[in-house]
Structure 1
């Protein structure tokens, strides 16, 4: 016995005209909404997407390709083989591409320029409509050598060419949120423990920490401590700091891994978190932040928003409305129990 048809569901395959009729808009408007075009209002796009989902509409990719000359696919080129930053970018991009049925082809370059060149060539051979370039660090990178006119957007790791389209996290803003949270809790003897000095993120966060504390008439207790992005460095560094600054009452860490090590070190030293020492991390690596005891207050760089915005800008470029320059996405503070 065939399954019962859902209420309001047309018999047979659902076509784009069925969605347009149910939404009370034109077929062209449905097409624009499904493909993330900017010239459709947010309310109309939401209504079209909701009706398309309810009717279980699936665009005909082959027909769309013939009509538009597009492949309805984009490449995501990344150096982040661990997925810490590439997966949130990809999930955000998928949110933007939505029911437009634009597929993402994921390519891991493993920091190998020759491998990257081969993967770019493979993506171009597949006639992707555009490419999102992402990295595991926030350092600016060289632009792709030759994309043959295919639009490119750089997400999280910006291009060194200011004319390219890049979307990055606002790390100074995230630092200001973290330091401000500690100051609001009346912490005045605040340390900063972070990653390698040669990494842009460590340097940027350290400078911003110093600047924000200076505006409050304070100094970084013991000076910024540069090391590695590891729990072991956090434990060792906080042990040394407590020997020099026994009155320490706050620590802002350059990463969640470091923060977890700091909290372990404080526990071993008999200090209560957050009663004696409040701790704030950076990254909101949720699997780590929520498993820390107590759960970690930390800065979220909104990487999924970076991915979503990068995809929206890419869609605009594909529609011949390119954007150049760097777009900065504000961070947010996720308050848990450590501060």
Structure 2
């Protein structure tokens, strides 16, 4: 594929800083009340006590992070191994995965562009966006033959593109689309989208499996036994996350396919951890340290490694709220 067409395909892929007290007081020559300054200079002993706990917790977490190897982190399109003081990085997805998923996103992109514009005449700005998107789709369509799809896959991409272009042309011609027509379009694309997702899933599983096996073959039996994996991703794909499913099988954890809640047993070793909204390796390592500390606290205080992985107030809250509902202190909205 030439550079232009590659760029067209890629085009389809879809701090908060907190001012410290001194900064706040310095703004616009603000003069803090004397009592406020005294409170800052002489902090509440409970606040100081809590700060000491947090500092000790952070120190222990750092110590645990430094001693945990091997650790595998999968975030975004990368998979990273930390072992014996070395960091090794590889790709977690293949080019074919990206191609399949990107083209499957065509109907989704059109739905997002049109779903809030149904049953009304579209503006010139909205129509221009559709024209620009049509140009991108057309460029990808011209490049399909260079992507080395199987014949079945090539036909499928052609159908996804053809239906998408047809919808755009209809909207551009009439400057309006009904909600029913948009729904019929999404239904017409569903099976081909799911087929692309199935092929993409197999591509990613094969990529993860190849890389995992290449790392594991050089490990000692003891290292294999102590591998820990952190998968970082967003909130929405947590349930049934592909990488979580793969590593649960590869690590000989309990595997039941899609599941609502991972790792619910009291003796969980936390070899496999999902990091919600964790997108970089530093945060993933910190999350691993947090899990290990909280599992140790839960075991030693409550004989339950999972206890600190839910709100410590949850049991009491359940009882108190139940009583208040029964006594009608809390009345559910009607």
Do both proteins adopt the same fold according to a TM-score greater than 0.5, normalized to the shorter chain? no
Per residue, is there more helix in 1 or in 2?
2
